[in-house]
């Protein structure tokens, strides 16, 4: 593909994702959620203009009616929120995100602004923020890149380039190093096999390769882990994990913990956990963000916003199963004010 053709393809993808023009927005009648296991679903009797007026009213005069903002934004799909943004701009002549940004503050503001973004735009924004300034929030890079599909990663890559003028791979490469960087770069190629064919002979060989690259030798050949964990399809990997258990007598997660450390350990564990169950992976991330002293709000917000209309129902089920407490009760006990209110709405009924 020529560089010109690649640029055209990239621009077409960005246009599709951003649904830039108004005519495009209105020619997409579907206002449905992007997944079918979310707590946020398409609002019936939806009226974008009425919602825009309600939001305008919530910000008029002195003080802000936060509950009105929550009532609208926590109960509309991403697609519906795009219509509301469009209606607000038409009737008020200002960007809804800018108006809300100047009215709100803190974690509540972060949730609200996140809800207004299309999914890949939000992911790109989170990744950019994770690499801003001194230090990198590796957890953000891992949470997003280990859990997204090829199509999602391609969309994030295109949006990132359009929004920030650099490729995501360049920024990730400049901000990380060593084998951790190589794993992230591999994930960014969006080249994972997404079929469901399992090659039993290859699965046994993959399990042997990983065993011989780790537990069976002095030092660890991490490239072997990368080759298998970043490329093979989900069903094949589940077979590899079973075969690995037979060969080594250990669970693959246990071996990764023994053989690796730091961010490399974290990213390989995230890939294994997401392969087994994305909802369980996110349930654990939510639990860890809230347990003990203090709350890692960046993680809590990112997962609640990004999974609300994809698989939040399943995340809640896994959370209850794993920790014998509801996600609802954890959020309630760990947050406060309007921030707590909007998260509980996104979490759905207990």
pLDDT beyond 80 at 312: yes
Output the pLDDT for position 215: 77
- Tell me the pLDDT band of 278, cut-offs 50, 70 and 90: very high
DSSP structure class, residue 34:
S
Long-range contacts of 23-32 (CB under 8 A, 24+ apart): 25/82, 25/83, 25/86, 28/79, 30/79, 31/77, 31/79, 31/80, 31/83, 32/77, 32/79
Q: Which two tokens stand for residue 296?
A: 């890692």
Long-range contacts of 125-128 (CB under 8 A, 24+ apart): 125/163, 126/302, 127/156, 127/160, 127/168, 127/171, 127/172, 128/160, 128/163, 128/164, 128/171
> Which of the residue ranges 6-10, 41-45, 301-305 would you say has the lowest mean pLDDT?
6-10
Global pTM reads 0.91
At residue 215, φ and ψ (nearest 5 deg) are -55, -35
- Calculate mean pLDDT across residues 18-47: 73
Q: Which of 238, 245, 235 is nearest to 198 (CA)?
A: 235
Place of tokens 């809590």: 300
pLDDT beyond 90 at 301: yes
* Measured distance between the N- and C-terminal CA atoms of the chain, rounded to whole angstroms: 51
Using CA atoms, how far apart are residues 200 and 65, in angstroms rounded to an integer?
A: 59
């Amino acid at each position: 593909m020529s560089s010109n053709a690649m640029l055209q393809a990239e621009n077409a993808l960005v246009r599709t994702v951003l649904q830039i023009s108004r005519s495009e927005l209105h020619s997409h009648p579907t206002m449905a959620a992007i997944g079918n296991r979310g707590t946020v679903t398409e609002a019936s009797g939806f009226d974008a203009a009425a919602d825009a007026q309600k939001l305008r009213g919530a910000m008029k005069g002195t003080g802000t009616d936060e509950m009105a903002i929550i009532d609208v934004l926590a109960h509309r799909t991403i697609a519906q929120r795009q219509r509301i943004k469009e209606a607000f701009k038409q009737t008020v002549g200002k960007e809804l995100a800018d108006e809300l940004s100047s009215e709100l503050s803190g974690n509540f503001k972060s949730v609200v602004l996140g809800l207004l973004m299309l999914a890949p735009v939000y992911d790109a924004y989170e990744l950019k923020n994770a690499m801003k300034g001194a230090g990198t929030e590796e957890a953000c890079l891992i949470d997003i890149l280990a859990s997204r599909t090829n199509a999602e990663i391609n969309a994030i890559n295109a949006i990132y380039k359009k929004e920030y003028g650099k490729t995501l791979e360049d920024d990730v490469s400049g901000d990380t190093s060593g084998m951790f960087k190589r794993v992230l770069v591999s994930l960014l190629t969006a080249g994972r096999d997404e079929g469901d064919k399992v090659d039993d002979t290859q699965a046994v060989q993959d399990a042997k390769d990983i065993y011989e690259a780790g537990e069976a030798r002095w030092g660890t050949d991490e490239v072997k882990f990368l080759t298998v964990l970043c490329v093979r399809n989900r069903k094949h990997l589940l077979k590899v994990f079973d075969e690995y258990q037979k060969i080594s007598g250990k669970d693959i997660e246990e071996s990764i913990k023994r053989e690796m450390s730091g961010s490399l350990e974290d990213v390989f564990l995230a890939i294994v956990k997401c392969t087994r169950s994305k909802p369980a992976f996110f349930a654990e991330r939510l639990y860890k963000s809230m347990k003990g002293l203090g709350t890692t709000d960046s993680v809590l917000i990112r997962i609640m916003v990004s999974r609300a209309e994809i698989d939040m129902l399943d995340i809640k089920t896994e959370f209850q199963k794993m920790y014998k407490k509801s996600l609802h009760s954890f959020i309630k006990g760990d947050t406060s004010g309007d921030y707590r209110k909007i998260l509980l709405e996104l979490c759905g009924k207990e």
